[in-house]
A and B are shown apart, each in its own frame.
Chain A
Amino acid sequence: MKLVGLAASPGTVQGRVLWMNRTSKDPSSPFETLSLTTLRERSLRTLEDLKLASDSPILRDVLQAQLLMAEDPLLWDAIAERLATGIPLTDAIRQSIDMIAEQFSKMDDPYIAGRADDIRDVGQHILAQCESTPPAQLWPATEPRILVSDTLFPSDTAKIDLTRVSAIVLSQGSLTSHVTILARSLQIPAVIAGDIRRWLHDDDVITVDGFHGIVTDEPPRPSVATAPPSRSAPIVHHMVYTKDGIAIRVEANVGSIKDAQEAKFYGADGIGLLRTEFFFGGDHFPSEDEQYAMLRAIAQEAPKSHPITVRAADIGGDKPLSYMDLPNDPNPFLGTRALRLLDRYPDLYLHQLRAVLRVSQEFPIRLMFPMIATIDDWFRCEAELQRALVSLNMPSCPIPVGIMVEVPSAVFLAPELARHAQFFSVGTNDLIQYLFAADRSVSALGSYYRPGDPALVRALRQIFNAATNAAIPVGLCGEMAGDTEYTALLLALGLREFSVSAPLVPVLKSLITTLAIADCQISYREMLEPHSA
């Protein structure tokens, strides 16, 4: 079981499911007959109590706005009007709330449209006051559990013990709904994942990956960035500077249109890695026009006016495709993947490169090739690019072309590769896997994923030195880039372009503003200079 949804709040947690108990009331259960004035007073008083009892300033603000809605004359006039037609009070409330929420959800401004949830929340609250029996406990957890529900309203969160919520999985919500903002402020991982009722049941053991928007019944993948961020961070939509005034780009890794929307939402300074493998997810080899359309759709959703670094498709290896006859290599990570497939599929890259070049006429784009292990590999990719340029009647390449440095041989060849490439992007996930001969998919080998190991630091040092000597920029897009334990080390090494999963962008930006590169260099001098170690 693997559900993919919105990465609403970062962090990865494994735990047991407990559904929220919002069963719609038995229709025959008695409702009190009470006057509108009494109902209004009771609703306002209980909402005020919830507000006063809340520890979270965000929740208090939300409940304050809901209090104003709950006393709004517009709402009570609507209820009174319907009541006068002779329908039961609860129906009058439901209809009035639905009408107002519906009007809001149609507003152009997504923020205002999102307030429809607040109105529905207020409606639930008022309806609850009509009931003569106290409601069952909403979420009766006695230990930390994963809260699962179709919806979660701010006033719900005021009624449950948030310290027992280890993660949240919802079927409805958005990145801007109050609950996801609250989850981020409380550092509770959260995913919004559509059709969850079929898959998740009480007491199921699941992993919630709020970095990538994934819910699965498998244990967490060994990865460096599993610890929740040390603190919540505000979303900023501009580049940040270190304390000593150096501008740092924090970009997002993107592998779908949803990811591109998240990148924009979380304030990424561009897309540092666009994985194009999802272009190949259909039932046939994607045509040039199909790839053009997908790339353009991403560019439209992405943060505007920032470059998108497109990685040429890294297909093959461990991901079989129904329409391609891929070799069944005994070790796919060391097998026929990316440009190594060109012998078998000579036009593998041609369509994609043409699509990239066409989209680059409209949006700022950079292109990079993965799995470059030799100088000849680079020339081979460059020849494919030339074919694409000639076929489009382009006299010269209009975009920067770079290399994803992820094979250890490329580290040793970095000085030569840096003379050809216009930029480097270090893929630490594969680089660590190949450097330490530790298969990423074998969880028992997770202990090899220590980006602070001197072997990796030396490799990074060589890559950065080669890039500096050739005066080309270097980015880093592996999990290491998003692990705040290594931010100071990477700044000391010379990294100025981080690319991370979108929810980590604010966390990293916030940390960077507290660091001075000069201090980082002093702290890491020993790691940077292996001779003195």
Chain B
Amino acid sequence: MLKHTVTLTNPSGLHARPAAVLVATAKAYVAQITLQYGDKTANAKSILSVLSLGAAQGSQIDIVIDGSDEVAAADALGTIFGNNLGED
């Protein structure tokens, strides 16, 4: 099991389009990927779940990745967060 903490740097936080980028990436892996924001948790493969976090720009999010391809998944998620989830 891997755990990473990221800070949302993209302007709109986890709004529909950046959330869609995150969900599409997460779905490519078999590992369970869970986001923790404050006292809320979300399944990173469910857009409804990710949106309901209501995480704005500047939010700190813990990502817990658990499964056979967790290392590859962590790499991929690290890349998309580094790219501001596709936002300028």
Contacts and interface: CB of A to CB of B under 8 A. Distances in A.
Interface stretch (A61-69, A83-91, A134-142, A160-168): A61-69
Interface in A486-502: none
Contact of B54 (A61, A64, A112, A118): A112
Contact of B20 (A64, A103, A107, A111): A64
A73 B15 contact: no
A61 B87 CA distance: 14
Interface in B38-64: 43, 45-49, 51-52, 54, 56
Given A65-B20, A68-B20, A73-B43, A109 B48 contact: no
B15 A74 contact: no
B51 A112 contact: yes
B22 to A, nearest CB: 10
Contacts of A64: 20
Contacts of A75: 48
Contacts of A108: 54
A72 interface: yes
Given A68-B20, A68-B23, A103 B47 contact: no
A104 B15 contact: no
A389 interface: no
Contact of B48 (A61, A62, A74, A111): A74
A109 B54 contact: yes
A109 B47 contact: no
Contacts of A61: 16-17
Most buried by A among B20, B24, B43, B49: B20
B51 A115 contact: yes
B46 A72 contact: yes
Nearest to A109: B54
A463 interface: no
Contacts, number: 47
A119 interface: yes
Contacts of A72: 46-49
A138 B5 CA distance: 48
B47 A69 contact: yes
A233 interface: no
A457 interface: no
A155 to B, nearest CB: 15
A236 to B, nearest CB: 13
Interface string B1-44: 00000000000100111011001100000000000000000010
Contact of B43 (A74, A103, A118): A74
Most buried by B among A69, A74, A100, A112: A112
Contact of A65 (B12, B17, B43, B45): B17
Nearest to A178: B16
B15 A111 contact: yes
A62 B12 CA distance: 16
Contacts of B19: 65
A100 B43 CA distance: 15
A109 to B, nearest CB: 5
A69 B46 CA distance: 8
A112 B24 CA distance: 19
A95 to B, nearest CB: 15
Contacts of B23: 68
A68 B47 contact: yes
Contacts of B51: 104, 112, 115
Contact of B52 (A65, A68, A112): A112
Interface in A108-130: 108-109, 111-112, 115, 118-119
Contacts of B16: 61-62, 65, 115, 118
A524 B12 CA distance: 42
Given A74-B43, A109-B54, A112-B15, A100 B20 contact: no
B14 to A, nearest CB: 9
A463 B12 CA distance: 44
Nearest to B42: A74
A237 to B, nearest CB: 12
Interface in A358-394: none
B27 to A, nearest CB: 9
Most buried by B among A62, A69, A75: A69
Given A61-B17, A65-B20, A111-B15, A104 B47 contact: no
A382 B20 CA distance: 59
Given A69-B47, A75-B48, A103-B52, 6 more contacts: A68-B20, A72-B49, A74-B43, A104-B51, A112-B52, A112-B54
5 tightest A-B CB contacts, nearest first? A68-B47, A65-B16, A74-B46, A74-B48, A109-B54
28 contacts: A61-B16, A61-B17, A64-B20, A65-B17, A65-B19, A65-B20, A65-B47, A68-B23, A68-B47, A69-B47, A72-B47, A73-B43, A73-B45, A73-B46, A74-B43, A74-B46, A74-B48, A74-B49, A75-B48, A104-B48, A104-B51, A104-B52, A108-B54, A111-B15, A112-B52, A115-B16, A115-B51, A119-B48
Interface of B: 12, 15-17, 19-20, 23-24, 43, 45-49, 51-52, 54, 56
